[in-house]
Amino acid sequence: MHKTKVEKMMKRSEILLAGKRKPIILQILNNDRGGKIVLSILALVVFYVAFSNLLLPKDSLFYVSTYTVTLLGKYLAFALLALALDLVWGYIGILSLGHGAFFSLGGYAMGMYLMRQIGDRGVYGNPELPDFMVFMNLKELPWFWYGFDNPIFTMLMIVLVPGLLAFIFGYLAFRSRVTGVYLSIITQAMTYALMLAFFRNDMGFGGNNGLTDFKDILGFDLSADTTRISLLIVSFLALFVGYLIARFIINSRLGRVCIAIRDAESRTRFIGYKVEQYKLFIFVVSAAMAGVAGALYVPQVGIINPNVFSPLFSIELVIWVAIGGRGTLYGAIVGAFIVNYASTYFTSALPEVWLYALGGLFVVVTLFLPKGVVGLLSKLNFKKSKGEVTNVPA
Amino acid sequence: MKINILKIVFLNLFFLTSLFANFEQDIEKLKTNSLKDKQEVVVQLAETYSEDDRTNLLLTKMEEGDLYYLETTGEFVILEKKEGNTYYSKSLLTGKELEAQDKKIFEKVKTNNKLRSIINSKLAEMNLFSKKDEKRLASSKNILKNLDKDSQELITKALAKETNSDIKEVLTEANTILQAKYSTSTEEQLLAVVQLGDYLSNQTMIALKEIINNENNQPELIKAAKSSLGSVETIRSYYAVVEKAFFGLSLGSVLLLAAIGLAITFGVMKVINMAHGEMMMIGAYTTYTLQQIMPNLMEYSILIAIPCAFIVSGIVGIIIERLVIRYLYGRPLETLLATFGISLILQQLVRTIYSPLNQEVKTPSWMSGAWGINSALSLTYNRLYIIIFAVLVFIGILLVLNKTSLGLKVRAVTQNREMAQAMGIKTSFIDAMTFGIGSGIAGIAGVALSQLTNVGPNLGQAYIVDSFMVVVFGGVGNLWGTLIGAITLGEINKFIEPVAGAVLAKVLILVFIILFIQKRPRGLFPQKGRDAQD
């Protein structure tokens, strides 16, 4: 019943938007200068990278290595994750420290599919059981691994498993009006508990080694350049579609209510809105998006293990959003790229410095850059794009 | 005359040297090949030098087959470790470690089964009639553990002489078990079996089970044994619950220490301090550093560390408050992020200064060991002290908050910041002090933790989630809520753990808390008043 209400609202805004008679994508991106710029730059970069990796000779000055392709793909997956977090944090005020969990669940679903694709090419050559199960003396495939040899089923699970967890968790938390820091802490405890569980060998997910040694995806060799490029493009498209969905939600009346909830929850409730349902809807959508990000991350990085559940990762991704600029969507993408590029650079060049730098980022951003890099840029330009939400209280 | 005096002097000298050299000379006889002669020597050694620790060592090692002598010097040595043909040994008489040597020069003092059983009984006897109470107690416990029919005579003899009641009880238990099992008169057996219902050791249970399973026994004896076994099991399961409760209480105390500072800062300043765990880490590292600086004061280092850790962590806390947090009041989510950043920096700082590896903090002797209440229940001292310590800290904070003017001001700020400010309380000073005290208590918690786990850069992370749970469960800013929350979570954890495993216990507790806040969203003891809601 509640869902139909939300749907109705979305339809209404759709009609509203359709009235302007522009292509749907441009309608959604209307009044979103930053989003257009960021997405265009990303599109250019992705297509340049794809083109030069496949077509240019290796010794060319403009050749991009496969390593860079993979790295870019990973960043895109992270950007989608940051986008998902910005949707809940920036627009409805839920600081989720558990988005790493949704990301990981999507990743594990993909990992399970990739494991099943290995077939009898594993070290033990068992066509039915992944290597780690043979190693652990399991005789049969655990029930929750059934169906993961089917790509369609896997795709469903990538969205459904994180969505379901978010639904149950959000239902309980929002119903009892857990808000603010309490909610953050409880979401953190959720990832922490999941991490402990996934670290166990008897969980049936490979314990602390996680899932790895993938061979191919949908029949394509994972180590081939063409597959890598395809994954990169798919990641970009996923980010693009994710951005459109998020933007669409924000532009709709639903999104306006969300912002009202973020800025004055009690008032919105007193006006008569069912605050819990709005929160739950956004939370579930965001979790599903995070799940997709995880699923894209795994084949490109080649491993998924319980470390992704660690509270540190979940909090780190909050800083991506904070650095980019909370409540802007494209800012989250920018932040994800900046921090992850810095992370890649520092962890190889100056590994000791990285944690200092990351810690310092947390402090500096919260103290001096409350609106992130995006806010800083628009301040320098003395221009404020009209559609932006400028006042973002905690 | 002169000759006589000389004679006397010489005789005396001879006697004196012989007095000192006796043990060393007597054991020389062990080098014989005749097992019969060795038996005599063993018996003689056990009787003549029963109070000499070296006898004990010698006989134990001889029985274990680790007693050797060197072909070169004839010195008796104890084999410690073999590596191929190289033997590591130490001297029997001086206890000094010797250089590693080739196995060829080692000559083993050989034994056989008969000799070994003689040595065993002599050893037991020697210790059982020692003049030292603790030696007799250990020996009687050992006899109870490795009870056999032949010990009967020895036990009866020892019981007749024994005056210490603890030792007497152990020996009586051993004696009763032997009677129940081997007595020739059925009546005596029956009586013993009934008496066994009052004892708790594993041996008693094993003996009773043996009697029940022995088909040659009379039905009434078996019946009595069954009822005795039932009562032993009841008492033991009761003590098992007590022990679990004790473990839960000690975990709860640690959680209380960890959460209490968090609860105070959260209560007063509405600030979630994610670096709280690192304050604990700093406290633990303070303890470690003190032990490194003052290796001679190991026994007292913990006591010195408590005020030091309080001060060090407190100062770090005040610095953090002044530099970062005070700019973020009223923005709890930002504070959470900034303090998390600080926690990362502090962790890395510790890694840089000390090393990323875990450090070992030594436990002073008065804190190690266990308080054995009976054979089914023993409580470790470190946990016991931590419980006492947590209670003291809790009382201390209650006193500070309720009896001092600082406490009064802190409470005023907690209840209504603006009003307190209007009344002339310097709220920013109170904030800094509160944060300092909260961090200082975390430092103290770190001292306590250093006695339970390894001290490493991740120490704080392991406890931070749990202490948040305590605060959420107990209700913010309420000390009693924190106390009850900590103990409840500690107890639940320890009672679920054996059934469900440590990980599932954590997950279940999380589920429990989520369900609990469905009923009471603001914890057990919610803050009241106009300021409380948002």
A55-82: pLDDT as tens digits:
888 888 788 888 889 999 999 999 999 9
Question: Angle between the B202-213 and B219-269 helix axes, to the nearest 10 degrees?
Answer: 150
Which residues in chain B (271-330) have CB-CB distances under 8 A to chain A?
A: 272, 324, 327-328, 330
Kindly state whether B532 is in contact with chain A, defined as any CB-CB distance less than 8 angstroms: no
Single-letter residue type at A293: A
High-pLDDT (> 70) share of chain A, %:
92
Q: Which two tokens stand for residue B147?
A: 């009870």
- pLDDT of the residue at A394: 43
Indicate the number of domains in chain B: 2
Query: Taking a C-beta distance cutoff of 8 angstroms, is the pair A225, A53 a contact?
Result: yes
Q: Which two tokens stand for residue B454?
A: 């390894």
Same domain, yes or no, for B212 and B256? no
Which comes out higher in pLDDT, residue A315 or B123?
Answer: A315
Band of the pLDDT at B20, cuts 50, 70, 90? low
- pLDDT of the residue at A386: 46
- For an interface test with B, which of A167, A181, A198, A347 has the most B Cβ atoms less than 10 Å from its Cβ? A181
The string of pLDDT tens digits covering residues B208-229 is: 777 777 777 777 777 777 777 8
* Cβ contacts of A380 within 8 Å, gap of 6 or more: none
For residue B90, tell me if it sits in a domain. no
B418: CATH: 1.10.3470
Query: Taking a C-beta distance cutoff of 8 angstroms, is the pair A88, B333 a contact?
Result: no
Q: Which two tokens stand for residue B193?
A: 């079996």
Contacts of B343 in chain A (CB under 8 A): 359
- pLDDT of the residue at B283: 94
Domain that holds residue B208: 132-217
Contact A181 B333 (CB under 8 A): yes
Q: Report DSSP state, residue B361.
A: P
Contacts of A199 in chain B (CB under 8 A): 503
Rounded to 5°, angle at Cα B484 from B480 and B486: 115
Same domain, yes or no, for B354 and B493? yes
The span from the CA of B316 to the CA of B439, in Å, is 8
* Cβ contacts of B238 within 8 Å, gap of 6 or more: none
Rounded to 5°, angle at Cα A179 from A329 and A362: 50
State the burial class of residue B234 (Cβ atoms within 10 Å of its Cβ: 0-12, 13-18, 19+).
exposed
Query: Taking a C-beta distance cutoff of 8 angstroms, is the pair A49, A68 a contact?
Result: yes
Percent helix, strand and coil across chain A, each rounded to 5?
A: 75, 0, 25
Please state the rounded mean pLDDT for residues A183-207: 85
Residues of A with CB under 8 A from a CB of B: 95, 169, 172-173, 175-178, 180-182, 184-186, 188-190, 192-193, 196-197, 199-200, 266, 311, 315, 318-319, 322, 352, 355-356, 358-363, 365-367, 370, 393-394
Single-letter residue type at B82: K
**Within chain B, how many helices (H) and strands (E) appear?**
20, 7
Q: Which two tokens stand for residue B158?
A: 């020892």
Same domain, yes or no, for B303 and B443? yes
Q: What is the mean pLDDT of chain A?
A: 86
Residue B488 Cα to chain centre, angstroms? 23
Q: Which two tokens stand for residue B67?
A: 């007693």
Single-letter residue type at A393: P
Please state the rounded mean pLDDT for residues A142-171: 92
Band of the pLDDT at A88, cuts 50, 70, 90? very high
Q: Coil, strand or helix: which one is B87?
A: strand
Q: What is the mean pLDDT of chain B?
A: 81
Which comes out higher in pLDDT, residue A282 or B149?
Answer: A282
Which comes out higher in pLDDT, residue A131 or A235?
Answer: A235
Same domain, yes or no, for B347 and B286? yes
pLDDT at B268 over 60: yes
Please state the rounded mean pLDDT for residues B146-154: 72
Single-letter residue type at B52: D
Q: Strand pairing partners for B101?
A: B87
**Cα–Cα distance list, B83 to B68, B75, B100, B478 (Å):** 16, 21, 9, 61
- pLDDT of the residue at B342: 93
Residue B32 Cα to chain centre, angstroms? 45
The span from the CA of B75 to the CA of B106, in Å, is 10
Query: Taking a C-beta distance cutoff of 8 angstroms, is the pair A381, A34 a contact?
Result: no
For residue B310, tell me if it sits in a domain. yes
Write out chain A in H/E/C secondary structure: CHHHHHHHHHHHHHHHHHCCCCCHHHHHCCCCHHHHHHHHHHHHHHHHHHHHHHHCCCCCCCCCCHHHHHHHHHHHHHHHHHHHHHHHHHHHCCCCCCHHHHHHHHHHHHHHHHHHHHHHHCCCCCCCCCHHHHHCCCCCCCHHHCCCCCHHHHHHHHHHHHHHHHHHHHHHHHHCCCCHHHHHHHHHHHHHHHHHHHHCHHHCCCHHHCEECCCEECCEECCCHHHHHHHHHHHHHHHHHHHHHHHHHHHCHHHHHHHHHHHCHHHHHHHCCCHHHHHHHHHHHHHHHHHHHHHHHHHHHCEECHHHHCHHHHHHHHHHHHHHCCCCCHHHHHHHHHHHHHHHHHHHHCHHHHHHHHHHHHHHHHHHCCCHHHHHHHHHHCCCCCCCCCCCCC
Which comes out higher in pLDDT, residue B46 or B411?
Answer: B411
Q: Which two tokens stand for residue B6?
A: 């000389």
Q: How many CB atoms neighbour CB B56 within 10 A?
A: 18
Order the strands of the B106-108 sheet from edge to edge.
B101-102, B86-91, B76-83, B67-70, B106-108
- pLDDT of the residue at A3: 60
pLDDT at B249 over 50: yes
Same domain, yes or no, for B245 and B321? yes
Contact A175 B518 (CB under 8 A): yes
For residue B36, tell me if it sits in a domain. no
Residue carrying structure tokens 């509270």: A311
Band of the pLDDT at B56, cuts 50, 70, 90? confident
pLDDT at B389 over 70: yes
For residue B212, tell me if it sits in a domain. yes
Contacts of A361 in chain B (CB under 8 A): 341
The span from the CA of A20 to the CA of A126, in Å, is 59
- pLDDT of the residue at A382: 55
pLDDT at B530 over 70: no
pLDDT at B296 over 60: yes
Contacts of B272 in chain A (CB under 8 A): 181, 184-185
Q: How many CB atoms neighbour CB A337 within 10 A?
A: 23
Band of the pLDDT at A248, cuts 50, 70, 90? very high
Q: According to DSSP H, which parts of B324-374 are helical?
A: 332-354
- Maximum distance among all Cα pairs of chain B, rounded to whole angstroms: 109
Q: Which two tokens stand for residue B295?
A: 């290796």
- pLDDT of the residue at B278: 93
For residue B420, tell me if it sits in a domain. yes
pLDDT at A109 over 90: yes
Using a CB cutoff of 8 Å and minimum separation of 24, what contacts does A58-64 make?
none
- The DSSP bridge pattern shows strands B76-83 and B86-91 to be antiparallel
- pLDDT of the residue at A304: 92
Residue B57 Cα to chain centre, angstroms? 26
pLDDT at A393 over 60: no
Same domain, yes or no, for B213 and B296? no
Same domain, yes or no, for B413 and B470? yes
Give B513→chain A minimum CA distance, Å.
9
- pLDDT of the residue at B418: 87
Q: Which two tokens stand for residue B263?
A: 């609860």
Residue carrying structure tokens 């639903």: A254
- pLDDT of the residue at A286: 96
Same domain, yes or no, for B145 and B262? no
Kindly state whether B469 is in contact with chain A, defined as any CB-CB distance less than 8 angstroms: yes
Nearest to A173 among B330, B343, B514 (CB): B514
Same domain, yes or no, for B308 and B429? yes
- pLDDT of the residue at B312: 96
Number of alpha carbons in the 13 Å side-chain half-sphere of residue A152 = 0
For residue B6, tell me if it sits in a domain. no
The span from the CA of B32 to the CA of B28, in Å, is 8
ipTM for the whole complex: 0.80
Contact B332 A186 (CB under 8 A): no
- pLDDT of the residue at A13: 63
Name the residue among A187, A220, A208 with its Cα closest to residue A317.
A187
The string of pLDDT tens digits covering residues B406-428 is: 989 988 888 888 888 899 989 88
* Chosen domain end from B217, B249, B264: B217
Single-letter residue type at B214: N
Band of the pLDDT at A384, cuts 50, 70, 90? very low
Contact B465 A189 (CB under 8 A): yes
CB pairs < 8 Å spanning A and B? 115
The string of pLDDT tens digits covering residues B270-289 is: 788 889 999 999 999 999 99
Which comes out higher in pLDDT, residue A387 or A53?
Answer: A53
pLDDT at B459 over 80: yes
The span from the CA of A151 to the CA of A113, in Å, is 7
Kindly state whether B507 is in contact with chain A, defined as any CB-CB distance less than 8 angstroms: yes
Kindly state whether B510 is in contact with chain A, defined as any CB-CB distance less than 8 angstroms: yes
For residue B65, tell me if it sits in a domain. no
Nearest to A190 among B338, B352, B510 (CB): B510
Name the residue among A14, A87, A10, A13 with its Cα closest to residue A279.
A87
Same domain, yes or no, for B179 and B291? no
Q: Report DSSP state, residue B364.
A: P
The string of pLDDT tens digits covering residues B391-400 is: 999 999 999 9
Residue carrying structure tokens 């975390």: B442
Which comes out higher in pLDDT, residue A261 or B183?
Answer: A261
Q: Which residue of B lies nearest to A89 if distances are taken between CA atoms? A: B333
* Chosen domain end from B182, B217, B252: B217
pLDDT at B387 over 80: yes
- pLDDT of the residue at A122: 78
Alpha carbon dihedral B326, B332, B338, B339, in 10-degree steps, equals: 90
- pLDDT of the residue at B10: 60
Please state the rounded mean pLDDT for residues A114-141: 81
pLDDT at B310 over 90: yes
High-pLDDT (> 90) share of chain B, %:
17
Q: Which two tokens stand for residue B392?
A: 């003291």
Band of the pLDDT at A340, cuts 50, 70, 90? very high
pLDDT at A335 over 90: yes
Q: Which two tokens stand for residue B126?
A: 């020697």
pLDDT at A389 over 70: no
The string of pLDDT tens digits covering residues A258-294 is: 999 999 988 999 999 999 999 999 999 999 999 999 9
Q: Coil, strand or helix: which one is B66?
A: coil
For residue B222, tell me if it sits in a domain. no
Query: Taking a C-beta distance cutoff of 8 angstroms, is the pair A313, A307 a contact?
Result: yes
**Within chain A, how many helices (H) and strands (E) appear?**
16, 4
Same domain, yes or no, for B274 and B213? no
* Chosen domain end from B158, B182, B217: B217
Same domain, yes or no, for B247 and B188? no
* DSSP structure string for A274-317: -HHHHHHHHHHHHHHHHHHHHHHHHHHH-EE-GGGGSHHHHHHH
Query: Taking a C-beta distance cutoff of 8 angstroms, is the pair B127, B139 a contact?
Result: yes
Q: Which residue of B lies nearest to A353 if distances are taken between CA atoms? A: B348
